[in-house]
């Protein structure tokens, strides 16, 4: 099956074509859904078979290149239309097709009754097609094809409900914003590609990476290449300063947010950096930049997440923050840990989004968590799976998020970046806090919605995907149990991926040695921190309102007692929560996000538009004026001829 | 002179088209229903000539005492012209009735212009280039102003004619200087003598004036000013032909004259000029296109910026650049013809529905047209895997190879800007509701033409390797 | 032939630029067109002078073709001008500027 | 002063002065007449250069046929007289004249810098024959057959084009 890996790409394309061309004619939603998700399901099965085939091969033979046909041949540039099956691309392929399949199935229920049901499924299939191209490519050009393709699908799907209003503008504007921001990233990526071609004379992964470890290239060139590629990654993976598009991208249907803007596409940047690990490892300065940008993104996004009231926005900022973690891992040189977090994050974040979708579905498109509350009794499955995901993202052992997040933090510390470790732990606490604020406000406490809403549990076609993802979120981390717990087997996930990063690790400074005690101590700190944050969040959002309202009237004595406790809360509020909340709303969200970064992006576009408006006036419509311009050009050219000799 | 049947065999594409013109005139004279017959005849002529050019691509020879080359890239160009004209003919079938130029003569002039293009591509002597250029240009002037009742067409054809003739003046003067200093008009002899002539300023001035004339024809900055007005005023399908066939023919002539000169050690002689032209065309075209409201004007500015991308290949001056230009021209011809074809379908009676706003909500009313136009727009903006992407890639790589990395960077920057206005159309079609009711005209032939272009665009995007190998093998 | 060829060429260059000036400053479309004819003729003078001084007839044959082209251009150009005049009743090319920006 | 130099001066003065008058007259008919005069002067120069065939064609085709067409159209359309030179858009016009002057100076510089006369070999005897109808005709129907045929198509296209532009009935 490994030789036929291209089927995993062709099947989604086929699904796209069938649904895209015949979709309007097929009136049957079920059939469209089956075609759409069936093609992805088959791809997933093929990926699984390929995975086991590869697993049975000896470690040094696990890379298979499947060449379809020669593609570009100009001079010394030879690029084939060929796919590379190895440990890294298999992990990603399993993830994309697996999670993709689950979300496709979920969408059958979620998009039920939409007037453009067929269009939605054809776009989703097109997305999987492009994404598979991206991760299975064996060269930069093919990767870029997928890179642009996923961007395009994301753009189409954000604006899917183009007739709906989204905040102040339309969803189409949100789509456009995503596209413009992504083009800045793409520019960086293209520049990086050119530099690679100039330096190594090839765009093939194997050639480039082998030459990168052999060729005598100065660190400056490596830094230039790495920083260009990283700019590309910041665009796609929503890192500072290009993260602004992702919250707006939530204008799309929720399954899209789950699949594209949480689980798969946004991790393309992480994948690309991991794939190019050799290049990054050769530029240690850039690695530090990657780590710093990553952790800054993580904490900024997490603090913004504290105050959002839109359920999908909270999750969007949480995604940005988790992506920041992944880049922190990459920057710390722990490429395997970064990919590990990509995987676990895909499970629990997809689950969170699908759960949110289920809630939104039940609440008739209401997205404000202040108008939820007490949904637990109406939606048992959704609430249970949601809490699993929330625990996983908060890093509570032994759920999946714990292992991946802790591995990243440990490597950060072990690599001497202890300061970043501190911020990382704070971020983890913030994460736990806002996740449980979200959970508590949504599912617990009293209902705060009107009587016109009748929440109900979603149909099976939506809940079963939730359950599957919940199981994955629980056990997904077990394949990456760190060495100190698993004994002589070591970290299985790591061992599986290590051949990919061998070249990179050879280039980097070996990690300092640290004792197991340190590792366990750090782990304990972060777990305790997260647990405290969870307790704190539940305390504020669950207990405080009820204490304030009910007990104050009934038991005046107890009330005074509790009032003191309340003072503690108040103190917390004033000293910690309020400054963060205020700072986060007034500066980080409003100014940093909306003014500075939006302003720069829009400003550049505006400047170009203004230049455009003025320079079109040059076209006066007078033929003789045109002739004068021509003659002017001729004079200049003649001067050039005269002076050049 | 033609010496044998073999020689006759080599010029069959030319014979087909010129025979077509003569037969068309006779048909036009004696037939009442000449429009339909001439449509069928044109389809036949262009199809046969185009396919035969590709079939006989290996018949490389030099005929007429070193005047005309056949085979190789000459035939590749001939293929581009003829298939381009084939698509234009399909698009015209119903368009010219709507536009009000439903005459048989239309097809005669169309065939004449293609004959001119083919002569330019095959030229081995300045005579042929000149005659071919004028045959094409004069046909174009007529095509632009075909419906004399329409004021826009009058104005477009007058501007095109005056400025075109003005440029011709410079070309003739340039040829005069080249002839006087090199003592020949034969390209091959010129190539041989070129190294001794590089010190001769008068010769260089002659080449420069010649080049300026052709810079006008390819619509590059600063000789681009006629383009938006002429494209806007001309019949839409004809504007499509100007921007594709006309541009391709002018590039073929530049390649014929200069490629030979470039390949020597003095290849970099005109590079500064070409860099200037190329960089400014790209930037100017992309920036001004942003503020256009008329789709034909927008496509005109896009055509200017594409002339810039193509000129990168000229500035690179290596065989990769030449191969890149030819590939790019093929890709550009088909995608631009497709775009103009859809504009022609959307256009209403009396040149209405040409504003960009008319495209709002097209995806709802006519998903097929919207999807096709999106393909062309993606291809024009250089998004893979369509043909336009590879065209740009080949010329950019050629530029990098000859050390013009920054020019390639300007190219990338300009294509980043250009995405904005191409995708604006896509956004309008998919994400906006229609303002007014715009019903595309029903034209089976037009749809065939557009679909054919789309197929060629996708094919060139998926299998660029084989075509580029074919082109490179003749360099 | 005691006159150096430079004199002919300078004469030709001068008349060429007179033609260019005419194109740039005249408002009447027909006169603009006539100025273009003047440019072509000056270029012809260059060709004939070179042809004669080089002793080969290629330049004169080229002039022959330039005349053919000029005739063809005249036919088409005047037809275009007549068509425009019928619509707009003016030949002033300053007023022919509906298509712009 | 030989006769050749005298004739050169006379003909070139006729050409230059008539050219300048042609672009400065406000009446289009007078402009056209000066252009004919200019063509006549050029024909004289062609004769001096031993280009008999071209000189004759110049008079018959250019001055005789093409310019008559021009005159015909001018009289048919009766355009208004143009305004004086500086009445409309004077700045643009002065700028245009200045650019033209600069290009002229550039060309003169190029001419006298590269001195084409130095590279010419004195084969004057041959040149007397090169301009005859016989020499040109021979070349035209042998070496230059293809451009000749192509020119035929060019005239054909122009005829069809002119007809369709000016005569065709349009509903």
For B160-201, how does the pLDDT look when each residue is reduced to its tens digit (9 = 90+)?
Answer: 999 999 999 999 999 999 998 888 888 888 888 887 887 788
Question: Per residue in D121-145, pLDDT tens?
Answer: 665 545 567 778 888 888 888 889 8
Amino acid D128: pLDDT: 65
Residue A602 has a pLDDT of: 63
Q: Say whether residue A631 is in contact with chain C using an 8 A CB cutoff.
A: yes
C93 touches chain A (CB under 8 A): yes
Question: Does residue A624 sit in the same domain as residue A522?
Answer: no
Residue A371 has a pLDDT of 81
Characterize A335-368 residue by residue with b for buried, 16 or more Cβ atoms within 10 angstroms of its Cβ, and e for exposed: bbbbbbbbbbbbbbbbbbbbbbbbbbbbbeebbe
Q: Is A313 exposed, middle or buried (0-12, 13-18, 19+ CB in 10 A)?
A: buried
List the structure tokens of A300. Answer: 């900024």
pLDDT of A576 reads 47
- The per-residue pLDDT of chain C, averaged, comes to 89
Q: Distance (Å, rounded) from C-alpha A307 to C-alpha A299? A: 14
| Both structure tokens of B394 | 């080949």
- Residue D11 domain-assigned (yes or no): yes
Contacting subunits of B (3+ beta carbon pairs below 8 A):
A, C, D
Query: Tell me: the pLDDT tens digits for B202-214?
Result: 888 898 999 999 9
Give the model's pLDDT for residue A563: 38
User: How confident is the model at residue D124, as a pLDDT?
Assistant: 52
| Interface contact flag, A642 D102, Cβ < 8 Å | no
Cross-chain residue pair C64–D140, CB shorter than 8 Å:
yes
Direct distance between the N- and C-terminal alpha carbons of chain D, in angstroms, rounded to an integer = 66
Given a cut of 80, is residue A598 above it in pLDDT? Answer: no
- Look-up of token digits 């017959």: B37
B–D interface: beta-carbon pairs under 8 A: 93
Taking CA–CA distances from A618, the nearest residue in chain B reads B225
State the Cα–Cα distance between residues A559 and A555, nearest whole angstrom.
6
Q: CB under 8 Å to B255, separation ≥6 — which residues?
A: B73, B314, B322, B325, B326
pLDDT for C62 beyond 90: yes
Q: Is residue A83 part of a domain?
A: no
The reply to whether residue C46 touches residue B131, judged by beta carbons under 8 angstroms, is no
pLDDT at residue B80 in the model: 93
- Asked if D61 lies within 8 A of C76 by C-beta distance, the reply is no
Nearest CA in chain D to A641: D110
Is A63 a domain residue? no
Whether A382 is in a domain gets the answer: yes
Contacts of A634 in chain C (CB under 8 A): none
Q: Is A204 helix (H, G, I), strand (E, B) or coil?
A: strand
B233 → chain C, closest CA residue: C99
Across chain A, mean pLDDT equals 81
Question: What is the DSSP track for D36-100?
Answer: HHHHHHHHHHHHHTT-HHHHHHIIIIIIIIIHHHHHHHHHHH-PPPPPPTTTS-HHHHHHHHHHH
Q: Chains with 3 or more CB pairs closer than 8 angstroms to A? A: B, C, D
- Chain A, chain D: beta-carbon pairs less than 8 Å apart: 26
Tell me whether residue D158 is in a domain.
Answer: yes
Same domain, D18 and D70: yes
Give the residue from chain C lying closest to B167, CA to CA: C36
Reported ipTM: 0.92
Domain boundaries, chain B: 5-473
DSSP A77: E
Which of A506, A533, A560 is the last residue before a domain boundary? A533
Q: Which residue, among A458, A222, A229, has the nearest Cα to A359 in the 3D structure?
A: A458
Of B420 and D19, the structure prediction assigns the larger pLDDT to D19
Asked whether residue D23 falls in the same domain as residue D78, the answer is yes
Q: How many angstroms separate the CA atoms of B116 and B112, rounded?
A: 6
Binned at pLDDT 50, 70 and 90, residue A260 comes out as confident
- HEC profile for B178-236? HHHHHCCCEHHHHHHHHHHHCCCHHHHHHHHHHHHHHHHHHCCCCCCCHHHHHHHHCCH
Structure tokens at C30: 């027909």
What is the rounded CA–CA span in Å between residue A165 and residue D43?
Answer: 77
How is chain C split into domains, by residue range? 5-88
DSSP lists the bridge partners of residue B186 as B125
Can you tell me the distance from the alpha carbon of B157 to that of B427, in angstroms, rounded to the nearest whole number? 33
User: In angstroms, rounded to a whole number, what is the distance separating the alpha carbons of residues A255 and A104?
Assistant: 8
A631, D110: Cβ pair inside 8 Å?
A: no
CA distance A250 to A235: 16
pLDDT score recorded for residue A168: 53
Residue A549: its pLDDT value, please?
Answer: 45
C-alpha span between A312 and A46 (Å, rounded): 33
Comparing CB atoms, the residue among D96, D100, D109 nearest residue A642 is: D109
**Closest approach of chain B CAs to the CA of C1, in angstroms?**
17
Distance from CA of D136 to the nearest CA of B (A): 15
Of A246, A530, A532, A229, the residue nearest A406 (C-alpha): A530
Query: How high is the pLDDT of residue A365?
Result: 78
Asked if B103 and B92 count as a contact pair (C-beta separation under 8 A), the reply is no
Domain annotation covers residue D126:
no
**CA–CA dist A177, A248 (Å, integer):** 8
Q: Is residue D127 a part of any domain in this protein? A: no
Top residue of C43, C61, C96, C100 to mutate, by most chain B CBs within 10 Å, is C43
Q: From CA A279, how far away is CA B424, in angstroms rounded?
A: 37
Its domain, for residue A216, covers 201-533
Of C5, C20, C21, the CB nearest to D120: C5
Q: Does A639 touch chain D (CB under 8 A)?
A: yes
Residue B120, pLDDT score? 92
Q: Which of A80, A15, A87, A102 is nearest to A50 (CA)?
A: A87
Q: What is the pLDDT at residue A546?
A: 56
pLDDT of D18 higher than 50 = yes
pLDDT at residue number A547: 44
Question: What tens digit of pLDDT does each residue of A320-336 get?
Answer: 999 998 999 888 888 88
Q: What is the C-alpha to C-alpha distance for residues D163 and A391, in angstroms, rounded to an integer? A: 84
Interface residues of D toward B, Cβ cutoff 8 Å, are: 107, 110-111, 113-114, 116, 119, 142-147, 150-151, 153-154, 156-158, 160-166, 168, 170-171
Enter the pTM of the model. Answer: 0.77
Chain D residues at the A interface, defined by Cβ less than 8 Å, are 92, 95-96, 99-100, 102-103, 106-107, 109-110
Closest partner residue to C37 (CB to CB) among D35, D83, D126 is: D35
Q: What's the confidence (pLDDT) of residue A415? A: 79
Please give the pLDDT value at position A574. Answer: 54
Residue of B nearest to D147 (CA): B128
**What are residue B294's DSSP bridge partners?**
B355
Residues A528 and A627 placed together within one structural domain of the fold = no
Q: Of the candidates B167, B201, B319, which has its C-beta nearest A645's C-beta?
A: B201
B381 or A115, higher pLDDT: B381
Among B93, B100, B215, B85, smallest CA distance to B139 is for: B85
Q: How far is A606 from A591, CA to CA, in rounded Å?
A: 19
Residues of chain B scoring pLDDT < 50: 265-266
Residue A482: closest CA among A491, A473, A495, A493: A491
> Are B324 and B397 contacting, i.e. CB atoms less than 8 angstroms apart?
yes
pLDDT score, position B308: 93
Q: Which residues of C touch B229 (CB under 8 A)?
A: 99-100
Task: Return the pLDDT at A454.
Answer: 79
Question: Confidence band (pLDDT; 50, 70, 90) for A207?
Answer: confident
Mean pLDDT in residue range A384-411: 88
pLDDT at B115: 94
Total number of domains constituting chain D: 3
Q: Among D4, A611, D16, which Cα is nearest to B289's? A: A611
pLDDT at residue A601 greater than cutoff 60 = no
Closest CA to C50 of C21, C97, C12: C12
All residues at 6 or more sequence positions from B427 whose CB lies less than 8 Å from its CB, including other chains: A159, A172, A175, A176
Tens-digit pLDDT profile for residues A509-551: 655 566 778 888 888 888 888 888 888 888 777 776 654 344 3
Of B25, B128, B202, the CB nearest to D111: B202
Indicate whether A540 belongs to any domain: no
Q: Which residues contact B315 (CB under 8 A, 6 or more apart)?
A: B271, B274, B275, B278, B321, B399, B404, B407
Are D67 and D25 in a shared domain? Answer: yes
Give the pLDDT confidence score for residue B182 in this predicted structure. 87
Torsion sign over Cα B217, B221, B222, B228: positive
> Across chain A, how many H-helices and E-strands are there?
28, 4
Structure tokens that stand for A504 in this block: 């990179």
Q: Where are the alpha helices (DSSP H) in B317-404?
A: 319-346, 362-365, 367-381, 387-401
Asked if D99 and A628 come within 8 Å (Cβ–Cβ), the reply is: yes
Domain count within chain A: 2
Q: Is residue A134 part of a domain?
A: no
Of C20, C93, C97, nearest to A631 by CB-CB distance is: C20
- Within a domain: A627: yes
What pLDDT does residue B259 have? 67
Run of H or E including B63: strand B61-63
Closest-CA residue in chain A for D102?
A: A635
Q: Do C101 and A622 touch (CB under 8 A)?
A: no
Chain A residues near residue B405 by CB distance under 8 angstroms: 194, 198
Residues of A in contact with D107 (CB under 8 A): 638
Chain A positions touching C96 (Cβ under 8 A) are 623
Give contacts of C 33-92 with A, CB under 8 A. none
Q: Residue D16's domain spans which residues?
A: 1-82
C/D interface, count of CB pairs below 8 Å: 229
Of all residues in chain A, the percent with pLDDT exceeding 70 is 85
What chain D residue is nearest to C86 in terms of C-alpha separation?
A: D77
Q: Chain D within 8 Å of A640 (Cβ-Cβ)?
A: no
Q: Is D75 found in the same domain as D16?
A: yes
Query: Which pLDDT value is given to residue A170?
Result: 64
> pLDDT of A545-585, one tens digit each?
654 344 345 555 544 433 343 343 344 345 544 554 555 45
CB-nearest to C93 from A619, A623, A628 is: A623
Average pLDDT over residues C46-71: 90
Residues 143-202 (A) with a CB less than 8 A from some CB of B: 144-145, 148-149, 152, 156, 159, 162-163, 170-172, 175-176, 179-180, 183, 186-187, 190-191, 194, 197-198
Chains with 3 or more CB pairs under 8 A to chain C = A, B, D
| Right CATH for C5-88 from 1.10.287.3510, 1.10.357.10, 3.40.50.2000, 1.25.40.10 | 1.10.287.3510
- Per-residue confidence at A149, pLDDT binned at 50, 70, 90? confident
Q: How many cross-chain Cβ pairs, A to B, lie less than 8 Å apart?
A: 151
Distance CA B227, CA B220 (A): 9
Q: Is the pLDDT of residue A456 over 60?
A: yes
């Amino acid at each position: 099956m490994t030789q036929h890996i291209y089927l995993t790409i062709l099947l989604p394309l086929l699904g796209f074509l069938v649904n895209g061309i015949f979709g309007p004619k097929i009136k049957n939603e079920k059939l469209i859904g089956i075609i759409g998700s069936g093609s992805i399901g088959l791809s997933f099965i093929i990926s699984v078979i390929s995975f086991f085939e590869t697993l049975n091969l000896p470690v040094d033979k696990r890379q298979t290149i499947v060449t379809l046909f020669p593609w570009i041949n100009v001079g010394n540039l030879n690029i084939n239309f060929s796919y590379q099956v190895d440990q890294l691309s298999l992990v990603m392929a399993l993830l994309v097709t697996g999670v993709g399949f689950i979300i496709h199935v979920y969408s059958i229920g979620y998009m039920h009754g939409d007037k453009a049901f067929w269009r939605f499924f054809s776009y989703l299939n097109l997305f999987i097609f492009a994404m598979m191209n991206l991760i299975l490519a064996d060269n930069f050009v093919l990767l870029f094809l997928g890179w642009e393709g996923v961007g395009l699908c994301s753009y189409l799907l954000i604006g899917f409900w183009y007739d709906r209003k989204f905040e102040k503008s339309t969803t189409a504007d949100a789509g456009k914003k995503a596209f413009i921001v992504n083009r800045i990233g793409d520019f960086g990526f293209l520049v990086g590609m050119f530099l690679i071609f100039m330096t190594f004379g090839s765009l093939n992964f194997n050639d480039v990476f082998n030459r990168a470890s052999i060729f005598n290239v100065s660190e400056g060139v490596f830094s230039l290449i790495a920083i260009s590629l990283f700019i590309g990654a910041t665009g796609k993976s929503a890192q500072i300063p290009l993260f602004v598009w992702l919250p707006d991208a939530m204008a799309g249907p929720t399954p899209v947010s789950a699949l594209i803007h949480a689980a798969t596409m946004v991790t393309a940047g992480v994948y690309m950096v991991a794939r190019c690990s050799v290049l990054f490892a050769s530029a240690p300065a850039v690695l530090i930049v990657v780590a710093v940008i990553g952790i800054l993104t993580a904490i900024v996004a997490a603090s913004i997440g504290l105050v959002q009231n839109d359920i999908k926005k909270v999750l969007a900022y949480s995604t940005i923050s988790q992506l920041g973690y992944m880049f922190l891992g990459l920057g710390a040189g722990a490429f395997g840990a970064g990919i590990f977090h990509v995987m676990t994050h895909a499970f629990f974040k997809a689950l969170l989004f699908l759960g949110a979708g289920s809630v939104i579905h039940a609440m008739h498109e209401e997205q404000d968590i202040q108008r939820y509350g007490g949904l637990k009794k109406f939606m048992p499955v959704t609430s249970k799976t949601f809490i699993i995901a929330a625990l996983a993202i908060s890093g509570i052992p032994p759920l999946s998020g714990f292992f991946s997040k802790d591995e990243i933090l440990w490597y950060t510390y072990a690599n001497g970046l202890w300061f970043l470790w501190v911020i990382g732990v704070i971020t983890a606490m913030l994460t736990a806090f806002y996740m449980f604020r979200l959970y508590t406000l949504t599912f617990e406490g009293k209902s705060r919605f009107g009587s016109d809403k009748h929440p109900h549990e979603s149909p099976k076609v939506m809940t079963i995907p939730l359950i599957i993802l919940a199981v994955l979120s629980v056990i997904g981390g077990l394949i990456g149990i760190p060495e100190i717990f698993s004994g002589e087997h070591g970290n299985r996930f790591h061992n599986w991926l290590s051949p990919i990063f061998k070249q990179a690790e050879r280039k980097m400074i070996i990690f300092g040695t640290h004792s197991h005690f340190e590792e366990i101590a750090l782990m304990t700190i972060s777990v305790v921190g997260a647990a405290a944050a969870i307790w704190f969040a539940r305390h504020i959002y669950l207990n405080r309102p009820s204490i304030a309202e009910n007990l104050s009237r009934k038991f005046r004595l107890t009330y005074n007692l509790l009032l003191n406790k309340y003072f503690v809360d108040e103190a917390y509020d004033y000293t910690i929560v309020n400054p963060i909340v205020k700072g986060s709303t007034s500066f980080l969200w409003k100014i940093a996000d909306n003014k500075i970064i939006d302003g720069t992006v829009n400003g550049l576009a505006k400047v170009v538009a203004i230049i455009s408006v003025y320079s079109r006036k040059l076209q006066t419509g007078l033929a003789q004026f045109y002739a004068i311009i021509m003659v002017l050009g001729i004079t200049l050219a003649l001067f050039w001829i005269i002076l050049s000799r | 002179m033609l010496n044998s049947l073999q020689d006759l065999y080599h010029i069959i594409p030319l014979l087909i088209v010129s025979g077509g013109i003569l037969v068309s005139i006779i048909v036009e004279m004696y037939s009442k229903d000449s429009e339909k017959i001439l449509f069928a005849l044109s389809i036949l002529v262009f199809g046969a000539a185009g396919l035969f050019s590709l079939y006989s691509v290996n018949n490389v020879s030099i005929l007429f005492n070193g005047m005309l080359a056949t085979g190789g890239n000459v035939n590749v160009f001939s293929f581009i012209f003829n298939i381009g004209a084939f698509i234009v003919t399909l698009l015209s079938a119903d368009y010219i009735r709507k536009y009000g130029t439903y005459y048989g003569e239309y097809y005669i002039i169309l065939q004449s212009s293609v004959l001119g293009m083919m002569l330019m591509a095959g030229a081995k002597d300045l005579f042929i280039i000149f005659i071919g250029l004028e045959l094409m240009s004069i046909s174009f002037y007529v095509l632009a102003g075909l419906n004399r009742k329409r004021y826009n067409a009058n104005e477009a054809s007058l501007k095109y004619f005056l400025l075109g003739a003005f440029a011709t003046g410079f070309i003739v003067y340039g040829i005069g200087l080249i002839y006087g200093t090199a003592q020949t008009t034969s390209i091959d002899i010129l190539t041989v003598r070129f190294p001794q002539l590089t010190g001769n300023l008068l010769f260089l001035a002659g080449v420069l004036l010649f080049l300026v004339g052709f810079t006008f024809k390819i619509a590059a900055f600063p000789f681009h000013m006629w383009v938006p007005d002429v494209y806007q005023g001309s019949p839409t399908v004809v504007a499509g032909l100007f921007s594709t066939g006309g541009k391709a023919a002018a590039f073929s002539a530049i390649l014929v004259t200069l490629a030979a000169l470039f390949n020597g050690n003095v290849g970099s002689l005109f590079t500064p000029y070409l860099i200037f032209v190329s960089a400014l065309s790209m930037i100017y075209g992309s920036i001004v296109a942003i503020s256009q409201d008329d789709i034909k004007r927008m496509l005109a500015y896009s055509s200017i910026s594409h002339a810039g991308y193509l000129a990168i290949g000229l500035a690179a001056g290596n065989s990769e650049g030449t191969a890149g230009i030819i590939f790019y021209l093929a890709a550009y011809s088909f995608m631009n013809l497709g775009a103009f074809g859809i504009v022609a379908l959307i256009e209403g009676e009396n040149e209405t529905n040409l504003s960009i706003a008319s495209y709002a909500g097209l995806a709802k009313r006519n998903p097929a047209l919207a999807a096709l136009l999106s393909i062309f727009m993606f291809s024009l903006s250089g998004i893979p895997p369509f043909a336009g992407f590879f065209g740009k890639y080949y010329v950019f790589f050629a530029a990098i190879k000859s050390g013009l990395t920054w020019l390639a960077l300007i190219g990338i920057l300009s294509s980043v800007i250009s995405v904005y206005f191409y995708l604006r159309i896509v956004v309008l079609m998919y994400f906006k509701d229609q303002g007014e009711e715009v019903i595309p005209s029903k034209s089976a032939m037009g749809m065939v033409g557009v679909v054919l272009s789309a197929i060629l665009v996708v094919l060139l995007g998926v299998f660029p390797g084989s075509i580029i190998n074919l082109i490179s093998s003749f360099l | 032939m005691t006159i150096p060829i430079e004199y002919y060429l300078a004469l030709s260059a001068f008349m060429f630029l007179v033609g260019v000036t005419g194109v740039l400053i005249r408002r009447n479309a027909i006169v603009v067109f006539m100025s273009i004819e003047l440019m072509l003729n000056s270029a012809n003078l260059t060709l004939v002078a070179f042809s004669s001084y080089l002793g080969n007839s290629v330049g004169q044959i080229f002039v022959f073709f330039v005349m053919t082209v000029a005739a063809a251009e005249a036919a088409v150009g005047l037809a275009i001008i007549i068509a425009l005049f019928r619509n707009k009743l003016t030949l002033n090319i300053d007023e022919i500027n509906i298509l712009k920006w | 002063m030989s006769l050749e130099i005298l004739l050169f001066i006379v003909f070139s003065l006729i050409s230059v002065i008539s050219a300048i008058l042609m672009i400065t007259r406000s009446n289009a008919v007078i402009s056209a007449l000066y252009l004919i005069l200019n063509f006549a002067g050029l024909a004289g120069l062609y004769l001096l250069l031993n280009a008999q065939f071209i000189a004759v064609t110049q008079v018959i085709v250019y001055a005789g046929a093409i310019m008559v067409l021009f005159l015909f159209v001018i009289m048919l359309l009766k355009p208004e007289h143009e305004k004086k030179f500086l009445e409309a858009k004077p700045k643009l016009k002065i700028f245009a004249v200045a650019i033209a002057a600069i290009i002229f100076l550039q060309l003169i510089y190029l001419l006298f810098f590269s001195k084409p006369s130095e590279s010419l070999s004195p084969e004057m005897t041959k040149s007397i024959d090169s301009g005859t109808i016989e020499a040109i005709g021979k070349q035209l129907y042998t070496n230059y057959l293809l451009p000749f045929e192509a020119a035929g198509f060019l005239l054909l296209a122009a005829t069809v084009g002119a007809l369709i532009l000016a005569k065709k009935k349009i509903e």
